[in-house]
Amino acid sequence: MGIYWQVKLLIMTSTPKKTIYFVRHGESLANTKGVFSATDTPLTEVGRSEAHSIQDRCDPLEIEVIISSDYKRALETAQVINETAKVNIVESSHFREINHPPEIVARSHDDREAMAVLDEIRDNQSDSEYHYSSEENMYDFRDRLADGLESLTARSEETILVVTHSFALATIAAILLTGADVDDKAVERFNNRLTVTNTGITVSPYLSDR
């Protein structure tokens, strides 16, 4: 709700230079299994159906380019949307989901060892230098997404669709509403309070004076 209030306020005070639509990928196989996703996790049949539904909603938006996370579930969503949009799809590592430690990938969300790893990460998440192994910490993730947003403002297209992931979308919302230096606690609050459904659309106008 706060996101849409903010967008309305900005539209009243300035004219957007471009409009960016953010879409979460459709349901993935990892979603249904309740496991931590690998990069090559595909969409389910339900996920493909969801992608076709968002395709219908995107038709009137006059999308000029689709920027997609290079993870399989996001790319498959982008490809379905593009069946009618017929624009370039640009793969971007900027809009991936957070990179989890490899020790928990493909493990159940209820797996005790995976939970122990995540508990240790959470206990240290305010330390920008801490890593359990080779994962991204919250600050790595935030900075990557902020760089991705900056790359969107440099593009020539005025209407852009970005296909990304749940936690990425919550973190993008935190960056847009509080700034690129948002801390880990604020990102966690956004993630806990912002519900991002599969193939839901979030809209952000880019303002030329910001």
Q: What are the tens digits of pLDDT across the range 165-185?
A: 989 998 998 898 889 999 988
Length of the chain: 210
Dihedral Cα 84, 57, 80, 30, nearest 10 deg: 180
13 token code pair? 């005070």
152: in domain: yes
Query: 81 or 15, which is more confident?
Result: 81
Separation in Å, CA 180 to CA 27, 88, 95, 121: 29, 28, 15, 22
Residue 167 within any structural domain of the chain? yes
**Any domain includes 79:** yes
pLDDT value of position 28: 95
pTM (2 decimals)? Answer: 0.85
C-alpha to C-alpha distance for 63 and 85, rounded to whole angstroms = 7
pLDDT tens for 6-61 read 333 333 334 457 889 999 999 999 999 999 999 999 999 999 999 998 888 888 88
Q: Is residue 108 part of a domain?
A: no
- DSSP bridge partners of 16: 207
Tens of pLDDT, residues 140-173: 999 999 999 999 989 999 999 999 998 999 899 8
Is residue 124 in some structural domain?
Answer: no
Using CA atoms, how far residue 163 sits from 32, 41, 112, in Å, is 20, 15, 32
The secondary structure element, H or E, covering residue 89 is strand 88-92
pLDDT, mean of residues 102-118: 96
Give the pLDDT band of residue 186 (cuts 50, 70, 90).
confident
| Half-sphere exposure of residue 173: CA atoms within 13 angstroms, side-chain side | 31
For residue 128, being part of any structural domain is answered with: no
**Does any domain span residue 64?**
yes
Q: Which domain holds residue 164?
A: 2-98+138-207
**CB–CB of 74/164 below 8 Å?**
yes
Distance (Å, whole) CA 63 – CA 54? 13
**How many domains are there within the chain?**
1
Can you tell me the distance from the alpha carbon of 69 to that of 83, in angstroms, rounded to the nearest whole number?
18
CATH number for position 160: 3.40.50.1240
CB-side exposure of 81: number of CA atoms within 13 Å? 38
Phi, psi of 173 (to 5 degrees): -60, -40
Is position 130 within any domain? no
Residue with tokens 């509080």: 178
